[in-house]
Amino acid sequence: MNNKKNIAVLVSGGGTNLQALIDAQKSGIITSGKITLVISNNAGAYALERAARADIKSAVVLKRELGSQEAFEGAIVDLLTENSIDVIVLAGFMSILSESFTSRYPERIINVHPSLIPSFCGKGFYGLRVHEAALEYGVKVTGATVHFVNEIPDGGKIIMQKAVYIEDGDTPEVLQKRVMEEAEWKILPASVEKVCSEM
């Protein structure tokens, strides 16, 4: 089967979700696509080390060097085009992409968000802030959502969701880890496979 979709993963930090995708590819959860490129907007991201270990090509694109959002996104588009990328996965990518970028790839950009959208999402909700907000609000159930990316932060069509129960004594850090292990690392690879297989 040679018609696997080429997947690019965009990262900014440690790359735990990238690792979940690499592991899912190895274990046969992702069979309709193959990670062929990792792009980071942070030269020091540990995710680049993970890519190197898995023998995946990587590139660093720095907005401050390019001077504008337009030039930054243009450099990413060039890399995606050169590498014949079909599906883009945002895995802890700490840069909001403009409408001119997202509109080029309708229903081909996937993001994982650490809450059950529409709760605790949108502008300003990322990383630990999401879990802090969930605990402050006192919800009993949180989770993760994988969705398509459009011009509205966390506003694209939902692909998959998985609930995670909040436990007494949870701190934002403890909750973040549980949401990753029980939800993000499961539904992100499953969603990537679903999107690749339906293309």
Domain containing residue 87: CATH number: 3.40.50.170
The DSSP result for 85-130, as a single string, is: --EEEESS--SPPPHHHHTTSTTTEEEEESS-TTSS-STT--THHH
Strand 33-40 vs strand 87-90: parallel, antiparallel, or unpaired? unpaired
Residue 131 known to be catalytic? no
Residue ranges of the alpha helices (H) in the chain? 16-26, 46-53, 63-66, 69-82, 99-102, 128-137, 172-179, 185-198
Peptide bond preceding 106: is omega within 30 degrees of 0, i.e. cis?
A: no
Q: How confident is the model at residue 27, as a pLDDT?
A: 98
Distance between CA atoms of residues 98 and 90, nearest Å: 14
The one catalytic residue among 113, 131, 178, 186: 113
What pLDDT, on a 0 to 100 scale, did the predictor assign at position 166?
98
Span 138-170, pLDDT tens digits:
999 999 999 999 999 899 999 999 999 999 999
Domain count for the chain: 1
Q: What b-and-e string marks burial along 36-54, b requiring 16 or more CB atoms within 10 Å of the CB?
A: bbbbbbbeebbbbebbeeb
- For residue range 94-140, list pLDDT tens digits in order: 998 999 999 999 999 999 999 999 999 998 898 999 999 999 999 99
Residue 43 to residue 73: CA distance in whole angstroms: 16
pLDDT at 2: 61
pLDDT(64) > 70: yes
Q: Considering the chain, what is the average pLDDT of its residues?
A: 96
pLDDT level of residue 3 (50, 70, 90 thresholds): confident
Surface-to-core class of residue 198, CB atoms within 10 Å of its CB (0-12 exposed, 13-18 middle, 19+ buried): exposed
Q: Which domain holds residue 18?
A: 5-198
Residue written as token pair 């992100």: 188
Q: Is 164 within 8 Å of 182 (Cβ atoms)?
A: yes
Average pLDDT over residues 185-194: 98
Which pLDDT score, from 0 to 100, does residue 20 have? 97
Assign residue 124 a region: left if phi > 0, alpha if psi is -120 to 50, beta otherwise? Answer: left
